[in-house]
Each structure stands twice: as C-alpha cells, then as structure tokens.
Amino acid sequence: MSDTAGLRSDAWLGGDDEVALNHRAARRPSLGPSLRPSLEAAGLRRSGGRSSGRPLIGIACTASDLNRCDRGLTTLALAVRRGVLAAGGLPLQFPVMSLSEDLMKPTAMLYRNLLAIEVEETIRSQPLDGIVALGNCDKTVPAYLMALASADIPGLVVTGGFRVPALFDGSPLGSGTALWRLYDSRRSGLLDEAAWARIASDPSAAATLARALQVYSDCEWTVEAIGSVTRAVAEEAGSQKRGQAPIRVAITGRSVGPPLFESLEILGRPEVLRRIRRALERLSEG
C-alpha cells in the first residue's frame, strides 16, 4: 500500500467544492472514536486534489444468522480489519447478501447474480480503493469473482474454510447428496423414524466437536489461547452457549461445572483430544 498515486477515493474526498466537502463530512458521525481520526487522516484532509496516502479498503462480509456456513466470518472480518490497519489502509466493513443453501428456496443459485450486482454496484458507488470479500459457499465465491472482475479494482476473496461435516452412523454428511440418499432410505423403510429424527439433532453437536478437535490440535495450550479458539468454534455453531455445551459435556460429562477453559488447560491437550474423539464415536454410534 505504499504506492498511493491516484487513489480512487480521491474522486470522492479530494477537491474543494461542496460535493467533496459533503463526502468528507458524511462519514464522520457514523464512525466510532477509534476510526474517526483514521478517516480524517485518510480522506477528510484531501482538499486540493492531493492524496493523503491512506487507501480506503472495503470489507464485504456475508455473515448472517440465516447462514450457518458464514457465522464465523464475523471473527475473520476482525482479523482482516487488523491486517488492513497494519498495512497502512483504512478498513470499512459493509454487509452484503448472504446465500444459504440450507434455508433459501428454491435454491441459492437464483441469487448468485444478484449478489454479484450488489457487490459491484456498492464498489462503484463508494470511495473504495480496494476490497476484501469474505464469504463461503459455491454461490457466493463465484458472485464475488464476477463482481470484482467487473468493478476492476484491487481485491481479494477470502473464504472461512470448509464446514466440518457432521457424522451419522460413522459416515460424514458432507453434502446434499448424502441427505438425498438418506431420504431415499427413509421412504423405502430402511431408516426408521427415530434415526431420521437423530439426523436433525446429532449433526450440530458432532460438527462442533469435530471443529474443536481440529483447532485444539494446533493451538497454543494456554487458558487465553484455548478460550480464543473455543469462542471462535462456538460462534461458528451459532452462539457461545450452544457451541460450548457439546465441548463441556464431552470433556466433563456434565452440562455445568468448573470454568471450561481452565479445565481444558489442566487436563492437557492429549487427554482433551482423547475425550473429544470418544464423544464423537458415541455420537456416531447413536
């Protein structure tokens, strides 16, 4: 970000006429105290047509409670914000349409082009010098690529990674195809009512534990680090209570008990991983 000649945002924030003045003033009330001085340095003093040297970097984010694949993007957006600041830019996050295959009818595919248009036109209409687009799903990523290609400004697409597949009777439920096959078994009588109900209840806990197993294998083993990754896993699950509950039960055998993070540190990584694996085995056994 050292080459700041001809920043795109100068067209909004540079100049001395009443339009440029309005653009420079418009952002001030909406920002918190921590960002207000940064934006003033980046844009509010760009009178006379000269660039101040701080590019404005948009962060498009599809995080939504309606889309379980994208819930964790809120945490990722905070990390991107820190990175933009460290590189000398000013991060400006904005929400965009979240495409959820789990809930949208008849299919998220119908909205891919609409998302692409939304992102492209947001870029075109706002004083952004670059963009980091955060999203998941096989509809969101193509939409982002279409938008960035058309808008033609520096940009990155960053995904939150894959969703850990749930387990049912030892087999992963990794796609719609797996559910279609199970539904065929249900209609043919091979899958009884109790097993069909278990598909809807067990996978969320199994997915949370599988994700915990993944992050606990690599994180630093301190209370602070354990707490940080556990809260991130819980956010992906939808809430701290819902996300931490399966971990607590897997580790302690109880739904309530002593502080979770401290308990994990005291038990040690090998024992924690062993207990989570055992809980996953029990869930797959039904």
Domains of the chain, earliest start first:
10-159 (3.40.50.2300), 166-285 (1.10.10.350)
The pLDDT of 2-21, averaged and rounded, is 71
Question: Of 119-133, 205-219, 229-243, where does mean pLDDT reach its minimum?
Answer: 229-243
Q: What pLDDT was estimated at residue 134?
A: 96
Quote the percentage of the chain above a pLDDT of 70: 74
> CB-based contacts of 72: which residues, under 8 Å, 6+ apart?
63, 160, 232, 235, 236
* Residue 157 token pair: 């697409």
Alpha-carbon Rg for the chain, nearest whole angstrom, is 23
Separation of alpha carbons 191 and 23, rounded Å: 62
The pLDDT of 265-269, averaged and rounded, is 95
What is the phi/psi pair of residue 14, to 5°? -90, 160
44: left (phi over 0), alpha (psi -120 to 50) or beta: alpha
Helices (H), 169-255: 176-188, 193-216, 223-237, 240-252
Q: What pLDDT was estimated at residue 42?
A: 45
pLDDT in tens, 223-242: 999 999 999 988 877 667 66
pLDDT in tens, 69-98: 887 788 889 999 999 999 999 999 999 999
CA 54 to chain centre: 26
Separation of alpha carbons 13 and 24, rounded Å: 6
Q: What pLDDT was estimated at residue 244?
A: 86
The one-letter code for the residue type at 90 is L
**Residue 81's CB: how many other CB atoms inside 10 A?**
19
> Where residue 171 falls among pLDDT bands split at 50, 70, 90?
low
